[in-house]
Amino acid sequence: MTPVDTPLLIAEGLSKWYGRQLGCRDVSFELYEGEVLAIVGESGSGKSTLLRILAGLMEADAGCVRYRMRDGVTRDVAALSEAERRFLFRTDWGYVHQDPAAGLRMAVSAGANVGERLMAIGERHYGRIRGTALDWLTRVEIDTGRIDEPPTRYSGGMRQRLQIARNLVTGPRLVFMDEPTGGLDVSVQARLLDLLRGLVAELGLAAVVVTHDLAVARLLSQRILVMKGGAVIESGLTDQVLDDPREPYTQLLVSSILPP
C-alpha cells in the first residue's frame, strides 16, 4: 500500500465509562489523508467524549487509537513516549475548541499566540515568526494592524479565527474540531464555515469535526458518524446519510434540523 492508501488515523473499539455512565462504546473507524469526518448527535450522545479520546485528551477504557507518523509507521498513540506525544501535538495535530479562550492565551498578543506554535517546533528568528503570524492573520481574515492586541479585545468570531490560525501555522496533517461554530451568531457562523472549508481544501487537511449542526456536517465533511447513547448507530457518506437516513433516530435528527 502507498501512504495515500493507508489510513492516517485508526480507531479500534474505543469505549469509555464514567462510573456506571457510558461515554462511548466500541467505536471503530478509519480516517484517510485529506478526509473530513463529522461526528454528529444530540447532547449526551458521546461525540465529545470520542473526540477527546481521539485527540489524546482522555484515556479510553478499552480500544486504541493508531496514527500513521510522518515516517510512514502506524503507531499506537497511547504507547508513544511523552516527548513523542508532545511533538505530535505541536506539529501534526491541531485542536480547535468550541470556546476559543480554551485554545488561546488570552493575556498575550494575537501575534504571540500564533508565534508560540512556531517556537515550539524550533523557530527562533523573530522576523520570520512575525512575518508568518502576519501572513496567517491575513489568511484567517484578521486585520494585521491588530497583531499586537490580545484576544480579549477580539470578538468571538475573531477569536475563533485566531485559534484556527494558531492551530494551522505548523502545517498539521490532522485537526480535531469541537463545535467550531458553536456560540456564534448565524452570519459569523457562515463566514467561519466558508473560511474553514477553504483552508481544509487548500491545505489538504484531514479533520474530525464534532457538531450537533447537520448543516455544518454537510458543508464540511465527506463522511459522517451518527451517535446515540455512546454508540455509532449510522455511518456513511455525508450526503447519502443526510439525504436518505436509514435509522429512525437519524431520520428524526434530519427532519428536525435540516430544511426539506
CATH entry, 3-92+172-257, from 3.20.20.150, 3.40.630.10, 3.40.50.300, 3.40.440.10: 3.40.50.300
3-state class (DSSP) for residue 211: strand
Q: Please state the domain extents for the chain.
A: 3-92+172-257, 104-171
The pTM is what? 0.93
The CA-CA-CA angle for residues 108, 113, 118, to 5°, reads 135
How far, in Å, CA of 161 to CA of 237, rounded?
28
How do the pLDDT tens digits run along the chain, 260 residues long? Answer: 455 689 999 999 999 999 889 999 999 999 999 999 999 999 999 999 999 999 999 999 999 999 999 999 999 999 999 989 988 988 899 999 999 999 999 999 999 999 999 998 888 898 999 999 999 999 999 999 999 999 999 999 999 999 999 999 999 999 999 999 887 888 888 889 999 999 999 999 999 999 999 999 999 999 999 999 999 999 999 999 999 999 999 999 998 765 55
In the chain, what is the straight-line distance between the N-terminal and C-terminal CA atoms, in Å? 42
CB 18 within 8 A of CB 221: no
How far, in Å, CA of 164 to CA of 221, rounded?
17
